[in-house]
């Protein structure tokens, strides 16, 4: 288990907390046809639940969240300027998610900060590669390693496998890899305004509230629920991680699905739906006043 978890009051290997939460989440997880990892942590009380939380899995575009962290780290260190202008070239365009490839002409210019916004809000693949040109492909993994998150790695540019700095991991995981526990650690530090600086943390949280994926976390939540999150989708993996504001306070949630049987590109894809069902179960659980919840029992996760 990542050492950072040992100082936040979690009992043992995630034991001793979240009994009723486990009863809500475990049936959802076990019904999914594919590999699943889930970690949930209330960011004020420390109540937590984990299922395969330390198992490295594919991220798809979820890895763009750590990329954003690296951008702001370098900006804080004076290595780059968030206002510096980037110029889109035809050869920069790659397929998949986003707006630059399909709606912008070569020669268009915009600030690095705006490329980061596109990368997070629309998961723009072309914007991501432009960002990586500025920060370096290996920088994100190096910073995550220094933060005690050794499994959280971006491997290459998007749709540019030949640029991989971790060829073996690229072959196994695709664009990026992480664990659910490491993603929740990252979110916890973000919530505490400890990622890079307070100002940078607030800017990154604001970017995450703009994520336009409606099929995962927000899908079954009450309208207006604040969710700061990032997602990822490829054929065999659907992922989401973020902070959900519940009536009882902020809760960090990460859901990773991989090797999924359902690979359809439809709103009711099983991986997308699992992310949404977990978010709803978490919201409903923490929507009950603490004094009305059952006594927490042993953690059923593994």
Q: Please report, for residues 41, 60, 115, 231, 262, the alpha-carbon distance to residue 37 in angstroms, rounded to integers and kept in the order given.
A: 14, 14, 30, 14, 17
Burial 270-283 (b: 16+ CB within 10 A, else e): bbbbbbbbbbbbbb
Model confidence at 56: pLDDT above 90: yes
Task: Name the residue ranges covered by the structural domains of the chain.
Answer: 14-55+179-302
Model confidence at 301: pLDDT above 60: no
Distance CA 175, CA 233 (A): 11
Q: List, for residues 209-256, the tens digit of each pLDDT value.
A: 999 999 999 999 999 999 999 999 999 999 999 999 999 999 999 999
Element (H, E) at 110: strand 109-111
CB atoms closer than 10 angstroms to residue 186 = 23
Q: List, for residues 258-273, the tens digit of each pLDDT value.
A: 999 999 999 899 999 9
* Predicted local confidence at residue 16, as pLDDT: 31
What is the three-class DSSP state of 54?
coil
Mean pLDDT of 33-51: 97
Q: List, for residues 93-135, the tens digit of each pLDDT value.
A: 999 999 999 999 999 999 999 999 999 999 999 999 999 999 9
The token pair that represents 162 in the structure block: 């030949």
What homologous superfamily does CATH list for 14-55+179-302? Answer: DD-peptidase/beta-lactamase superfamily (3.40.710.10)
- What's the pTM value of the predicted model, to 2 decimals? 0.89
- C-alpha dihedral sign at 249, 247, 240, 198: negative
Comparing C-alpha atoms, which of 244, 192, 179, 278 is closest to residue 8? Answer: 192
**Ramachandran angles phi, psi of 269, nearest 5°:** -50, 140
Comparing C-alpha atoms, which of 212, 208, 286 is closest to residue 247? Answer: 286
Distance CA 169, CA 138 (A): 13
């Amino acid at each position: 288990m990542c050492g950072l978890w040992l100082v936040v009051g979690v009992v043992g290997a995630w034991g001793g907390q979240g009994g009723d939460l486990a009863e809500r989440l475990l049936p959802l997880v076990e019904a999914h046809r594919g590999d699943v990892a889930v970690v949930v942590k209330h960011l004020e009380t420390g109540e937590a639940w984990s299922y395969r939380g330390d198992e490295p899995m594919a991220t798809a575009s979820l890895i763009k969240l750590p990329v954003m962290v690296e951008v702001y780290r370098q900006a804080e260190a004076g290595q780059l300027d968030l206002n510096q202008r980037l110029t889109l070239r035809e050869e920069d365009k790659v397929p998949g998610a986003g707006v630059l490839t399909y709606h912008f002409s070569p020669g268009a210019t915009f600030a690095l900060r705006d490329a980061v916004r596109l990368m997070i809000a629309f998961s723009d693949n072309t914007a991501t590669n432009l960002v990586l040109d500025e920060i370096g492909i290996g920088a994100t993994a190096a910073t995550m390693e220094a933060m005690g998150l050794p499994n959280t790695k971006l491997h290459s540019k998007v749709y540019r496998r030949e640029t991989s700095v971790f060829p073996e991991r690229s072959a196994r995981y695709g664009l990026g890899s992480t664990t659910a526990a490491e993603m929740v650690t990252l979110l916890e530090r973000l919530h505490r305004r400890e990622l890079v600086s307070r100002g940078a943390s607030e800017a990154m949280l604001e970017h995450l509230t703009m994520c336009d994926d409606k099929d995962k976390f927000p899908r079954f939540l009450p309208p207006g629920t604040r969710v700061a999150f990032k997602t990822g989708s490829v054929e065999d993996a659907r992922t989401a991680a973020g902070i959900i504001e519940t009536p009882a306070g902020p809760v960090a949630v990460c859901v990773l699905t991989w090797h999924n049987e359902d690979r359809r590109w439809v709103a009711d894809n099983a991986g997308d739906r699992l992310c949404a069902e977990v978010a709803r179960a978490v919201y409903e659980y923490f929507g009950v006043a603490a004094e009305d919840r059952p006594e927490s029992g042993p953690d059923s996760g593994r």
